[in-house]
Structure 1
Amino acid sequence: MNRSISKAVVIGSGIMGSGIAAQLANVGISCTLLDIVPAELTEAEKAKGLSLSDTAVRNRLASTAITGLVKRKPAPLYDPEFAARIRPGNLEDDLHLIEDADWVIEVVVENLAVKQELLAKIEQHWKPGVLVSTNTSGISIEAMSAGRSLEFRRHFMGTHFFNPPRYMKLLEIIPGENTDPAHVARLREVAERALGKTVVIAKDTPNFIANRIGTYGLLVTLREMLQQGYTVEEVDAVTGPAMGRPKSATFRTLDLVGLDTFLHVADNVRENVQDAAEIEVFTVPEPLQKMVKQGWLGEKSGQGFYRKLKEKGESKILSLNLQSFDYGPQVKPSSGSLQAAKAAKGSRAKLKALLSGGDRYSELAWNVLKHVLLYSAAKLGEIADSIRDIDEAMKWGFNWEMGPFETWDAIGLVPSVRKMEAEGLPIPKWVSEWIAAGGTSFYRREEGKLFHVMSGSFKAVEQPPQIISLRDLKEQKRVLRSNTGASLIDLGDGVACLEFHSPNNAIGEDILSMITQSQEEIRKRDYAGLVIANQGRNFCVGANLMLLLMEAEDEEWDEVDDIISLFQNTMYQLKQFEKPVIAAPHRMTLGGGVEACLPADQVIATAETYYGLVEVGVGLIPAGGGCKELTLRASQQAHLPDADLQPYINRLFETIGTAKVSNSGHDAKRLGYLRPSDRVVVNPDYTIHEAKQAVLRLAASDYEPTKASKLRVVGSEGKAILQLGAISMKESGYISDHDLLIAKKLAHVLAGGDVPAGSLVSEQYMLDLEREAFLSLCGEPKTRQRMKHMLTKGKPLRN
């Protein structure tokens, strides 16, 4: 019952099936991908003299899908080599492999009859203990398993992955009437721990949780638009970040999903509910149906609510006028409420500013929001038993900042319900009873614990021990030290966590000061060690670029030198700290963020860690110890005195010189940013716990601090080789004059300067080279232009 899942069979090699297989492979689950046997040979197969009986032909669909995983964008695999963990097969020759599997996932076409037929074939080879699930976005689990044995149905459930499976964190598990709760618990544990998913338990109802509410919200928005005459761009301006929703808002989302797909999802609800009002809401308005008939399906057909054109080499995006059905230039909406929402900090404040603006955009936001909130409340008990599951489904399935009930709390439960009542809207009975009993919110926090309403009273939200919330710890008065940029928090068991919380977690003097203070505090309290982690949107996007630019513009070179020296010295001291240090980066970890991790004894990154030294993008080089530390590692890799160090430095020069950023934690290892001893954790909610355990393991093993090392460098000869490569790129037109200047400075540092090849130099010597190169580049007008462009435009400037 409690055995782990190490082997899986995925049936169906389309976009979803192959994507699910890729995620299983990502986390080390051996996977077989099956599809039907082709009925005809391709021209390439004929040219090779193959026949329909050849294995290569019979497995063609699955094999092609596996090959395609390596090329697909965004990348479904953490590392292209993981494709080897997926074995191709076909339904006629390989269905018996189910006998040895731990989990079988059916991912074929969304057609009840097809799925029923396939499940019957699966049961012929199935053995008790093997979990079977269907990936469906809305077909009834009970209807699908009709005719199957009771024991099979006890092992059968829905698992609705969201696309793309690697990146979308939500997994809806839908038990059937006969599904054994123990099997649900087993699959949930694997999904959360191994696959890194946020799991919600949904009822077996049309479209389950996220698609049910999300589709309803999109249809309500479309009707409000048509009735009140809003434009496509007006609706998207209101229903995006201003309401705590993604930038894709309403109509960009529909274009991305595909209007035909959306129509299918909406029809699934309309055809399977009995309530007349609900049937009316899920009847897709005529303009959208007309678009589908005309083939205007969104991005996949080249046009939907938006259409991209190229004129004179430049891209231009037009929007659709639903009255005339013509495309025209976008007219950016502007109003007091939109401006107030944009200026407000945080999703709660943005939404309140938008709703209180008193203009037609405030009215649109309220008229959409009130219906979504009431619908979500009305469906509690029907689509899910917990408001928490509904909120989590919308946050992780539709990328909302707040779920419906969190949103209701944000705008004020009681006053918003009173306003709804005044407008004649029916309030779900349980909401009215909750307010009558004195309830003023659906959630409350108390001493670092979260509670939510369930069955008329507050119930604590239980979290597994692997999830550590820094917010909860701070509310429990566990902060040891704090300043404007960072806090030192007691994680328990003698381990402290240094949390960055400056704007964008950019590293400035406040964070550097807290790094030093953290070491002092740990010494004083005789703690076991330190974790460097935070739970912001990104770990750290670099140093405080604005401060550096201001000092460079004022030509305060001593100040710039002091800033870089402080950064270098702080990281060097952290590396030599006598207690274990574990860094736990997540998502965007760039420039100075990487340099804050390099001194750690071990890095425990999330799978979705995008890690890279990107300073050349703003006309600089890494100077917080990044060049020094990676050169030291290269020297240690080529550890024999007569080993050729140059290839290691060449790769390092290319990685830093082209500002390469990993597309996963595993990719960071491939690029050389992470060491073989560093680890990757799939579930980002578990990283701080894992980092804490790593500290305790090191502390219990007679930990010895890192000592200063000598580096063997390639010197002037190696520098010439590096610079020759950069000059060749300049002559070929790949890089600019300023790019060449930066490359030469970088080559000088990575080579160890103008010393003989094979020289041993100190770490401080390498830090001095870094700082000198950085200062000289700060003095370049084109570098300052790049810095300014990044700060104002958010992207690199090529000059």
Structure 2
Amino acid sequence: MSRFNVRKVAVLGAGVMGAQIAAHLVNVKVPVVLFDLPAKEGPKNGIVTKAVEGLKKLKPAPLGVPEDAALIQQANYEEHSELLRDCDLIIEAIAERMDWKLDLYTKIAPFLSPNAIVASNTSGLSITKLSEVLPESIKPNFCGIHFFNPPRYMALVELIATPTTRPEILDQLESFVTTALGKSVVRAKDTPNFVANRVGIAGILATFKEAENYGLSYDVVDDLTGKKMGRASSGTFRTADVVGLDTMSHVIKTLQDNLKDDPFFPSYATPAPLAALIAKGALGQKTGAGFYKKVGKDILRLDPATGEYVAGGKKADDIVARILKKAPAERLKLLRESSNPQAQFVWAILRNSFHYAAVHLADIADTARDIDFATRWGFGASQGPFELWQQAGWKQVAEWIKADIDAGKALSSAPLPAWVFDGRDGVHTAEGSYSPTKNAYVPVSKLPVYQRQYFPEAVFGSGAAEPLKSGTEEFKNEEVRVWTLDGEVLIASITAKLHLISPTVTEGLLKAVEIAEAKYKGLVIWSPDDVFSAGANLEALMPVFMKSGAKGIAPEEKKLQDAMLRIRYAAVPVVSAIRGIALGGGCELAVYSARRVAAMESYMGLVEVGVGLIPGGGGLTYIARRAAEMASAGNANADILKFLTDGFTAAATAKVGTSAIENRKNGYLLWSDVIVPNKDELLHVATQQAKALFESGYRAPTKSVFPVAGRNGIATIKAQLVNMRDGGFISQHDFHIGALIADVVCGGDVDAGSLVTEDYLLALERKHFCGLLENPKTQERIMGMLSTGKPVRN
């Protein structure tokens, strides 16, 4: 695959977006220099320095680990413009002022490399107008790039061409943004607010209006428009608070200033409650008050009638919640026909979204797929408007929308476009997605970068291949599918809920290793969602425990440990492809693999203390072995305890790494492991790693003995635990569990430096794990977790 070689990126503007874009570039190991104006007082880089320091405190964290803030090179335009000559990509992210942007372009133009791509991160300004001030030599390399906030977590990036942008520039940038930054790209037309914000903000404004029409409070609306509708859990008004009401107002103003001929123009009016909040400086989460306000532990909501904050937390009516669980066709029919105001409200906002998307499709996007993907990736929805419309029955829903328009119930009297009624059953087909301007179904992009995505996200109706029905199946039981795509590497996919590891899963993984050793170059453990494995399935072992107690669990625990060793010592490389959560047994499965390939957003940790247990699938044995390996790598006589402390602390506190970078710091990923920015490339990279290991003459590690810290190490750790217990930081039961973890990772009652085997430590793990099962405090924690999903502190 040809690749745009980005040696360094310059980000111009150290505001909220610029600083966070720079942070994400650091996350994916792209060198970056962050520019801003010279400070009027103190060091000239003062503005950038303050922004970089702020990155360490932001939540959600823009950096994989806070210390990586030091990797952002700081600069100001007065002293460091020469640095731009070495940058292959310049992302301008200053305030949304056309005059300021144009002035900056004029100043930096003499310092730009002739081959550099220059892109403006704007949420809605005309890219074509921005390009007009640039020298003729730079115009062909200029385009728009719109990241969504927060840039690390939001998948969507919109790319916008001008009439003078060279097509290959957008291809190069799309490939870089997809693979190197891990983003999902939609190409937008140069229209106000582009695709996602155009549709999304229009939808939020419509929600305001319909909430007022049906007399619904903001908390009820958020409950209705959150997870119950397959959207972001924050719903509508909480999302507005998080984004910032001033930011939202700016995007609304772009609609008001540039779309006066739009048939939906009246609906772009700034809602009175929003205007009132902005007027008094209540801009949402960043100012502590917006549509919601936190007072102590209570979340209050705004009452728009009085302008005061009142108790929040109201939920949707049960009958509406039940309707929203129905299949799409039945769901929309029941909502439309219901007399319940909440149901009528939901139908109204869905109808409005279908109507708006259809009327504006030709103006704002190339295809219906672009609108659906922009809605998904930019606003956290599980479906776009066209997908739901098509899934619910295109022709019937179209008639309902038309009837509501004719009856004056819709936001606009604009009729649905003629193509809606041309006999079609939808806009997404196996051939492609509909483009009104081309009057054709347009297939997905054929850029080489997408050949790395075996199972990319697809829209409903596109007939995309389903991972768990693809390839050649070698073995399957109730909770594991073992299959191959290429006949060279075997894939094991855990299909159990949350991919919990039960005896059935263990059986399936062992079968996969057996088949891989007989016929394949390697085995990849991968599943097509955001869970690698949430851990061991305790519920599956409850019948055994109830019948035989802890002594009945011990053989099952040994089977799990033996399976981990079988994976570690397999004759072919086993590669764990991790995305999302890998907790407890899931983390152990990963660390016992020959290699790990992890998506940036991977969350790993040994969390068993939350249910009153110690890691029992080999996690503590791994910590002890790794400490010995690290100690001997530095000095044969090194103090093992020094290398053991971080691993012990992580297990004893159930610490979870909140990025692949932090997982590497915590020791659950090694420097030899691979971090993949784009989750959809995970399977490709993992299979390539398995093949590369095999072709390099892979042999499993040799079973060996290694030194442990012994009783002296246990005593040192327990002394620290005593201080924590006596200081009220941990409970007596936490102290007990911590002491047992120390006993395992230090090797039990032996001299410091004693040589032990993995089997010896695994037996200690098993003994303490089963002993804790008999403890009433642990049983209380387990039952609490199984019944509420939340840890019990006792």
727, 730, 751: which one aligns with 1:732: 727
253, 257, 261: which one aligns with 2:243: 257
TM-score (norm. length: structure 2): 0.93
Measure how far apart 1:726 and its partner are. 1.0
CA distance 1:424–1:162, shift in 2 (3 Å): closer
Measure how far apart 1:282 and its partner are. 0.8
1:581 and 1:600 in contact (8 A); partners too: yes
More deviation in 410-419 or 621-630? 410-419
> Residue in 2 aligned with 1:504?
498
- The reply to whether residue 31 of structure 1 matches residue 32 of structure 2 is yes
Cα deviations by residue, 1:342-386 (Å, 9 ceiling, x for unpaired):
766x99998888678663322111100111122112222321102
Write out aligned runs for 1:367-386 (5 A): 367-386=348-367
1:35 and 1:89 in contact (8 A); partners too: yes
> Residue in 2 aligned with 1:122?
108
SS at match of 1:380: helix
The residue identity in structure 1 corresponding to 2:681 is: Y
SS at match of 2:128: helix
Measure, in 1, the Cα distance between the counterparts of 2:332 and 2:499: 24
> Residue in 2 aligned with 1:44?
none
504, 509, 513: which one aligns with 1:519: 513
Measure, in 1, the Cα distance between the counterparts of 2:749 and 2:3: 62
More deviation in 204-213 or 84-93? 84-93
Cα deviations by residue, 1:650-679 (Å, 9 ceiling, x for unpaired):
222112111111121111111111222111
2:11 and 2:35 in contact (8 A); partners too: yes
1:374 and 1:427 in contact (8 A); partners too: no
> Residue in 1 aligned with 2:523?
530
Measure, in 2, the Cα distance between the counterparts of 1:755 and 1:323: 72
> Residue in 1 aligned with 2:409?
none
- The reply to whether residue 15 of structure 1 matches residue 8 of structure 2 is no
Measure, in 1, the Cα distance between the counterparts of 2:700 and 2:593: 11
Measure, in 2, the Cα distance between the counterparts of 1:331 and 1:175: 44
1:242 and 1:354 in contact (8 A); partners too: no
> Residue in 1 aligned with 2:194?
208
Write out aligned runs for 1:257-656 (5 A): 257-310=243-296, 315-330=297-312, 332-340=314-322, 359-424=340-405, 432-433=418-419, 435-437=421-423, 439-444=424-429, 451-454=432-435, 455-462=438-445, 464-469=450-455, 472-476=466-470, 478-524=472-518, 526-548=519-541, 552=545, 556-639=549-632, 641-656=636-651
Measure, in 1, the Cα distance between the counterparts of 2:765 and 2:37: 58
- The reply to whether residue 756 of structure 1 matches residue 751 of structure 2 is yes
The residue identity in structure 2 corresponding to 1:537 is: D
Measure how far apart 1:413 and its partner are. 1.6
Measure how far apart 1:607 and its partner are. 1.3
CA distance 1:457–1:10, shift in 2 (3 Å): closer
- The reply to whether residue 658 of structure 1 matches residue 653 of structure 2 is yes
1:347 and 1:401 in contact (8 A); partners too: no
SS at match of 1:296: coil
The residue identity in structure 2 corresponding to 1:123 is: A
More deviation in 78-87 or 666-675? 78-87
Measure, in 2, the Cα distance between the counterparts of 1:77 and 1:430: 45
Write out aligned runs for 1:234-249 (5 A): 234-249=220-235
Measure, in 2, the Cα distance between the counterparts of 1:356 and 1:689: 47
CA distance 1:358–1:559, shift in 2 (3 Å): farther
Measure how far apart 1:27 and its partner are. 2.0
1:716 and 1:751 in contact (8 A); partners too: yes
Measure how far apart 1:705 and its partner are. 2.2
CA distance 1:158–1:230, shift in 2 (3 Å): same
Measure, in 2, the Cα distance between the counterparts of 1:554 and 1:20: 56
Measure, in 2, the Cα distance between the counterparts of 1:39 and 1:80: 27
More deviation in 125-134 or 143-152? 143-152
The residue identity in structure 1 corresponding to 2:311 is: P
> Residue in 2 aligned with 1:45?
none
CA distance 1:747–1:355, shift in 2 (3 Å): farther
> Residue in 2 aligned with 1:53?
none
Measure, in 2, the Cα distance between the counterparts of 1:375 and 1:734: 55
CA distance 1:38–1:458, shift in 2 (3 Å): closer
Measure how far apart 1:180 and its partner are. 0.8
Measure how far apart 1:493 and its partner are. 4.1
695, 703, 706: which one aligns with 2:698: 703
Measure, in 2, the Cα distance between the counterparts of 1:15 and 1:294: 22
Measure, in 2, the Cα distance between the counterparts of 1:182 and 1:374: 35
2:144 and 2:160 in contact (8 A); partners too: yes
Measure, in 2, the Cα distance between the counterparts of 1:153 and 1:479: 52
1:232 and 1:320 in contact (8 A); partners too: yes
Q: What do you get for the CA RMSD once the two structures are aligned?
A: 2.4
More deviation in 119-128 or 78-87? 78-87
Measure how far apart 1:252 and its partner are. 0.7
> Residue in 2 aligned with 1:767?
762
More deviation in 407-416 or 746-755? 407-416
> Residue in 1 aligned with 2:780?
785
Measure, in 2, the Cα distance between the counterparts of 1:514 and 1:533: 13
Cα deviations by residue, 1:528-578 (Å, 9 ceiling, x for unpaired):
110011122222211113334565566632332233122112111121211
CA distance 1:431–1:697, shift in 2 (3 Å): farther
- The reply to whether residue 63 of structure 1 matches residue 49 of structure 2 is yes
Measure how far apart 1:102 and its partner are. 0.7
The residue identity in structure 2 corresponding to 1:490 is: T
Write out aligned runs for 1:143-162 (5 A): 143-162=129-148
Measure, in 2, the Cα distance between the counterparts of 1:424 and 1:8: 49
1:594 and 1:611 in contact (8 A); partners too: yes
Measure how far apart 1:606 and its partner are. 1.1
SS at match of 2:269: coil
CA distance 1:721–1:118, shift in 2 (3 Å): same
Measure, in 1, the Cα distance between the counterparts of 2:403 and 2:416: 18
73, 98, 122: which one aligns with 1:136: 122
The residue identity in structure 2 corresponding to 1:37 is: P
SS at match of 1:88: strand
The residue identity in structure 2 corresponding to 1:180 is: R
The residue identity in structure 1 corresponding to 2:233 is: K
2:623 and 2:648 in contact (8 A); partners too: no
Task: Give the number of equivalent residue pairs.
Answer: 773
Cα deviations by residue, 1:85-135 (Å, 9 ceiling, x for unpaired):
322111111122222211111111111111111111121222321111111
Measure how far apart 1:276 and its partner are. 5.0
Measure, in 1, the Cα distance between the counterparts of 2:135 and 2:330: 53
Cα deviations by residue, 1:268-311 (Å, 9 ceiling, x for unpaired):
1111013253221111122321222232322222222222112x
Measure how far apart 1:515 and its partner are. 0.3
Measure, in 1, the Cα distance between the counterparts of 2:328 and 2:29: 37
> Residue in 1 aligned with 2:72?
86
1:130 and 1:155 in contact (8 A); partners too: yes
Measure, in 2, the Cα distance between the counterparts of 1:545 and 1:351: 39
Cα deviations by residue, 1:726-778 (Å, 9 ceiling, x for unpaired):
11211222111011010111111111111222222221111111111111111
> Residue in 2 aligned with 1:186?
172
CA distance 1:2–1:634, shift in 2 (3 Å): closer
